[in-house]
Amino acid sequence: MEEEWNAMHSRGGSFPSLWKKENLSQAFGILQDPDELVTLEEIRQELLLEEQAMVAEIESILQFEDECLDSVVGMNAENLIVCPVCNRNYLTVTSCFVLCQCGVYINCKSQGMSREKLQSLLELNLSAHANSCYEHPVFSVVLDAEGGSSLFMSCTVCDAMAVII
């Protein structure tokens, strides 16, 4: 298709204006030429195939984003939250701390944490990020100067940052 575009473009350096009567009749003449009609139909079919491929890719990306959101905030029948840092283990949430087998430990004694509150915080921040960016953010634990830790969400695409806990 690119070769065809270049060939058509190189014939006159630019395409003729269809506002002039002689150019309009020339354009209609092309549409009556069987070889040109076959070429135009081939181009149309190629464009349709490309469009279908793009739609399929967008649908798969949306499905992947939904799966990622479900895995980060994913609640199973036992009401467990998947660790957003490792995406493998479930978090242990008490009113004093959040803990994961991967090494995540966040002291949240002053915040009175619960599973519902943590889930709500994760959903709120992920939804807010998804409204402005297509990329899945990364979660990490950040240590502060006093030795405490916080759950941090960041995105390399849109430079978004948020402290979850």
Per-residue pLDDT tens over the stretch 110-161? 778 888 898 899 999 999 999 998 898 999 999 888 878 889 999 999 999 9
Q: What is the pLDDT of residue 15?
A: 59
∠ CA 134-52-4, rounded to 5°: 110
Q: Has this prediction a pTM greater than 0.85?
A: no
Per-residue pLDDT, averaged over 53-67, amounts to 88
Domain boundaries defined on the chain: 33-163
- pLDDT tens figures, 71-81: 665 544 457 88
Band of residue 67 on the pLDDT scale cut at 50, 70, 90: confident
Q: Which residues of 106-126 are buried (b: 16+ CB within 10 A; e: fewer)?
A: bbbeeeebebeebbebbeebb
Per-residue pLDDT, averaged over 40-51, amounts to 93
Beta strands in the chain (DSSP E): 92-93, 97-99, 105-107, 138-143, 149-154, 161-163
How far is residue 38's CA from residue 43's CA, in Å, rounded to a whole number? 9
For the chain, what is the mean pLDDT? 82
Q: Is the dihedral of CA 22, 28, 34, 36 positive or negative?
A: positive
